[in-house]
Structure 1
């Protein structure tokens, strides 16, 4: 077949395909095309992971077959069905995804690869300048014959191919459906949602970027805001991970920070209308942390610490494939987060792309509880992980496990813990209502440099939690901590507040010692408040002798005025009660 070369200006054969003067047809043309193409489906393609290293491209199929291709690239590889596309050295090259064999190679026209699609017969690729602009669309047969080469004036995104029709997003709101044989526009989608990508995922064709519109019976309603949408929960995750990058961008061969912060999900049709996600799961990566969350509400269901930064991956049937910069490929069970298989590429890698194809992740039972998984990550000493650790700590404190309380105590008393993480642990401890035994054990510890106990326990948060649990067994240790100079003023204040209700006569000696030390010398507001709380505890537990002590202190002109006022407030009701 002769090549159709088009520079898409006014009057050209493809001019109408990207015309901004097109009149909105209410979705009729795209709906008619959907009915016509409802039978053809794009092949699932090979399950393959493709990495870029210093020498070129290395790949491994999910069945374990390896191949490589030397050479410099000017953009990241793109996997489209059974084809891997590369651009570099002025060429656009297609390789068989399963073997790495070259299928064809054509001139790139001084442009780099943006995106591509394939339906088993035709491959469509969009190219452009590294810094934007100079769009080019090519459609190539398996034999290498170029059916279409066009240079639209508009900026085009990543295309897809289905049943010989090329779907090309442009201007962030249109998708033009172009006949791969003639270049004629077969239909057009107008959507009010950001659309820079057309792609085949799982069992269907989708359009979008941050959310995906399914090419099904409802697609004609997109112009009025309808259609079957695949939308992930709008919950904030560390680093604000993206599902897909803008399709009009040329991604460099070397991954950057945003590539290490991603979402992965596999949408599935649910019938005539509606979209769900495979296994009700999506994955989030943040450098060396991977999380699996519910696709309904975003609640974290599993978490993993990865060996190195995750550079790329894909959602596949039954789970996820994640590729780390050291070349390790982890196959993760989507339900449990357990690693059900692993492969290796020749690393270290600069970037990595993955495609699941028809691969099914083997199921594997959870190796540890969610609390244990998160605890391992939160305990990491890698400062880069703090945003993920703080996020996961919010998930951790929702769990009732006693082990969570112990993990928080350890983090709050770790000298090398990042300040924000230690602060979060203390706040979380104050809200715990389980793990009393771990809390009581922690209170028995005291700062001791010689014994390598470099921080006192988080007395204040523990006091708050034990008070809420009405745990009177905490009183002896809390009373001792009142007079420990290693404790901060805020911790002492909170311990004293707990002792107002938890103390008994057994703690009277410690209470009286503290009161004698601070009733006249307290300067800091927390210590003043602690002294008032201790006075109330003495009044409640000390009987007549305790009350006499307080009365005598109130008469002393050196007693802090706020303490005196608090004692006066205690005396009147006590005397009334005694006189009954």
Structure 2
């Protein structure tokens, strides 16, 4: 008779290997040195001091140097459309026609690598992200948390129909299930590289799971909350609400807070936006308030940990703002024509998708429009991936900043004009963000800022409470000897 044991005493894992070993890309033999002790997803494990996850990172780096890089994902926006969330629409961001795929959805679709994964009415499916062409369908229960893909294998994270168990499926692009994992741990959004799935769980662990042998080969431990594993720019990251950690030679120091981690500065923005929502949550097919207030950034894939391009973006309904990733200083403001529901950062810019189904690509430094794409119809939610896109590849992209950067006077004038437009948007729900921007405007130097305050104070389109704030800021500015704009000649 088997002795009873606590659910915490060991994880319950059921793994089914369907595909042959030759069908899987490999990272070589077991990582070697400092292997994880204990069963997968067991919090009572013997800590190896980061040796196993470091060895895995080193082996992966060696493979990349040998000419086997991590593939870049498709650059695409995918929206949920139709009454009752019964249709997916997609459009490539680097050119190409929009596509449509009809299927009921019980949760937000996931875009990962070269695929779009959806689940509805007991059917799990994958589409080619660029064309919408169906790749495979399978019967599946539960609800979709997220997915990862490396161009050959798609790993899908589900929560069971009872909500008490996590289910992870590794499925080839031919539709064959290579591995199934079930466990009581809450497993977040996964990633996959070769025959290894990277599975975040319990808010602070990432298990490296060998899809061929069916076991944990390494584990990362982190101080900051971690519920996402993802590929970006040819590197692997683990992230949460406000930080992302790169898988590199320093990954074993994650428990001590000394891995290659980048955190976004806290600006106290309205809506309390986060970089990544909790990966163990199931996102509904229709966007919520938290989707309308989000942070977007692209962690640096190489070199010192940081944000690529030194900018992150924040959205609040129809307003997007760019900030310096180190200081948090406001860099630009963009006023959209509809609520912004989703987006992604790419090398040199941000791709933001709105409720009309329009995708606007913005220059990361100044917030100017580089290009637009269209899903062709309004959407209830939108997911964007922009992994390989670069600003230099966009036709009609604005010229780069002059040598030495944008002159301070030009920057202040441009930013003042951008803020003025955002502050006059006629939507009462925007008031918290508009007030923040008005304070930023009052602190800007130069005649352009003074003129913008004067216009806002007298413009009938300015909401009354903001007009009063503008008058007070203008009075303080002029009393302090600020710049007085020249009178505009009468027509």
TM (norm. structure 2) is 0.83
Which residue in the other structure is 2:165 paired with? 134
Structure 1 unaligned spans of 5+: 1-6, 443-580
2:183 is paired with a residue whose SS is coil
8 Å contact from structure 1 (residues 336, 364) kept in 2: no
8 Å contact from structure 2 (residues 343, 351) kept in 1: yes
2:208 is paired with a residue whose SS is strand
CA offsets, 1:195-254, max 9 Å, x none?
111111223111120211110000001122210012111222222211111000110000
8 Å contact from structure 1 (residues 374, 396) kept in 2: yes
Deviation at 1:72, TM superposition (A): 1.0
CA RMSD of aligned residues (A): 2.3
1:199 is paired with a residue whose SS is strand
Question: What is the rounded CA distance, in whole Å, between the counterparts of 1:245 and 1:437 in structure 2?
Answer: 45
Question: What is the rounded CA distance, in whole Å, between the counterparts of 1:197 and 1:66 in structure 2?
Answer: 28
Residue 283 of structure 1: which of 313, 321, 335 is its match? 313
Which residue in the other structure is 1:529 paired with? none
2:443 is paired with a residue whose SS is coil
Which residue in the other structure is 2:385 paired with? 355
Is 2:470 the counterpart of 1:436? Answer: no
- Stretch deviating more after TM superposition (416-425 or 14-23): 416-425
Residue 364 of structure 1: which of 387, 398, 403 is its match? 398
2:189 is paired with a residue whose SS is coil
Which residue in the other structure is 1:163 paired with? 194
Which residue in the other structure is 2:101 paired with? 69
Which residue in the other structure is 1:308 paired with? 338
1:395 is paired with a residue whose SS is helix
Which residue in the other structure is 2:32 paired with? none
Which residue in the other structure is 1:390 paired with? 435
CA offsets, 1:442-491, max 9 Å, x none?
9xxxxxxxxxxxxxxxxxxxxxxxxxxxxxxxxxxxxxxxxxxxxxxxxx
Is 2:53 the counterpart of 1:30? Answer: yes
CA offsets, 1:249-279, max 9 Å, x none?
11000001110111111111343xx312221
Which residue in the other structure is 1:50 paired with? 78
Question: What is the rounded CA distance, in whole Å, between the counterparts of 1:212 and 1:267 in structure 2?
Answer: 7
Question: What is the rounded CA distance, in whole Å, between the counterparts of 1:374 and 1:12 in structure 2?
Answer: 54
Is 2:121 the counterpart of 1:80? Answer: no
Residue 98 of structure 1: which of 119, 130, 143 is its match? 130
Q: 1:405 to 1:246 in 2, by over 3 A?
A: same
Q: 1:168 to 1:426 in 2, by over 3 A?
A: same
Deviation at 1:12, TM superposition (A): 4.8
Deviation at 1:130, TM superposition (A): 7.6
Deviation at 1:23, TM superposition (A): 1.7
| Equivalent residues in 2 for 1:407-486, closer than 5 Å | 407-414=452-459, 417-432=462-477, 433-437=481-485
Q: Which has the higher contact order (CA 8 A, sep 6+)?
A: 2
Question: What is the rounded CA distance, in whole Å, between the counterparts of 2:426 and 2:223 in structure 1?
Answer: 45
Question: What is the rounded CA distance, in whole Å, between the counterparts of 1:130 and 1:314 in structure 2?
Answer: 30
Question: What is the rounded CA distance, in whole Å, between the counterparts of 2:299 and 2:100 in structure 1?
Answer: 31
Which residue in the other structure is 1:373 paired with? 418
Structure 2 unaligned spans of 5+: 1-6, 16-37, 402-409
Question: What is the rounded CA distance, in whole Å, between the counterparts of 1:377 and 1:92 in structure 2?
Answer: 41
1:267 is paired with a residue whose SS is coil
- Stretch deviating more after TM superposition (336-345 or 377-386): 377-386
Question: What is the rounded CA distance, in whole Å, between the counterparts of 2:151 and 2:70 in structure 1?
Answer: 7
Deviation at 1:426, TM superposition (A): 3.1
Pick the structure with more helix per residue: 1
Which residue in the other structure is 1:460 paired with? none
Pairs aligned (count): 431
Which residue in the other structure is 1:337 paired with? 367
Q: 1:200 to 1:415 in 2, by over 3 A?
A: same
8 Å contact from structure 2 (residues 166, 182) kept in 1: yes
Deviation at 1:416, TM superposition (A): 6.7
Residue 355 of structure 2: which of 325, 332, 337 is its match? 325
TM (norm. structure 1) is 0.71
CA offsets, 1:512-533, max 9 Å, x none?
xxxxxxxxxxxxxxxxxxxxxx
8 Å contact from structure 2 (residues 11, 41) kept in 1: no
CA offsets, 1:499-523, max 9 Å, x none?
xxxxxxxxxxxxxxxxxxxxxxxxx
1:17 is paired with a residue whose SS is coil
Question: What is the rounded CA distance, in whole Å, between the counterparts of 2:104 and 2:12 in structure 1?
Answer: 38
Which residue in the other structure is 2:42 paired with? 19
